[in-house]
Amino acid sequence: MNQLPNALQFSHLLLKEAVSTGDQVIDGTIGNGNDTLLLAKLVGENGTVYGFDIQQQALQHTISLLEKNLSGLQNVQLYKKSHAEIDNVLDNNVRISAAIFNLGYLPGGDKSIITKSTSTLTALTTCLKKLQVGGLVVIVVYYGHPGGKKEEESVVDFCQNLPQKNFAVLNYSFVNQAHEPPFVLAIQKLK
């Protein structure tokens, strides 16, 4: 058989399961735009992807990637803002089928600019509030970089303490690797 999906591949498998044509979804860390592109294809022209990143470089990469691969950006709304501001930016009645976060730094960018616990937990809380029943918040946790371990602990702690009546939290990780590979946390809203 093929190799077991790595964390990034598994996060995409989950998004493909969770997202349908016409859905509204959030990319909390657009980075180089790979998740944004996948989500834009999944929601189609009648859906909406809301994308957030604080770095101009991330927005430029993403716009360029989307222009190359889609006929236009009509179903993607990008914000040069922290994901901590999702709740301020989006209309109160927006309901999402999925959100994706890739924690850490922008690949190829300034490694000192990293996602941090406080804003990440604020963003996760907003996404869970906006999540439809059955929907998923998917987090790819990179933690090998300076500051990464602290954020990882906060996020894992946050997830472990979500009430099991309302949420199921899956941890998908490779456990015999010396180089601290990313792992996936997937939060499904049960009711």
By CB under 8 A, tell whether 79 contacts its own copies: no
By CB under 8 A, tell whether 178 contacts its own copies: yes
93 vs 163, beta carbon nearer its own copies: 163
Site pattern 88..117 for its own copies (x: CB under 8 A): ---------x--------------------
By CB under 8 A, which span of 62-70, 81-89, 99-107, 178-186 interacts with its own copies? 178-186
Closest CA to 103 of 66, 170, 44, 154: 154
If you write DSSP's letter for every residue of 18-30 in order, what string do you get?
H--TT-EEEES--
Closest CA to 89 of 53, 118, 56: 53
If you write DSSP's letter for every residue of 74-137 in order, what string do you get?
TTEEEESS-GGGHHHHS-TT--EEEEEEE-SB-TTS-TT-B--HHHHHHHHHHHHHHEEEEEEE
By CB under 8 A, which span of 35-43, 101-109, 113-121, 153-161 interacts with its own copies? 153-161
Centre a 10 Å sphere on the Cβ of residue 97 and count the other Cβ atoms it contains. 23
The amino acid occupying position 71 is S
By CB under 8 A, tell whether 191 contacts its own copies: no
By CB under 8 A, tell whether 175 contacts its own copies: yes
92 vs 178, beta carbon nearer its own copies: 178
Site residues (vs its own copies, CB under 8 A) = 1-4, 17-18, 97, 134-136, 156, 159-164, 167-178, 185-186, 188, 190
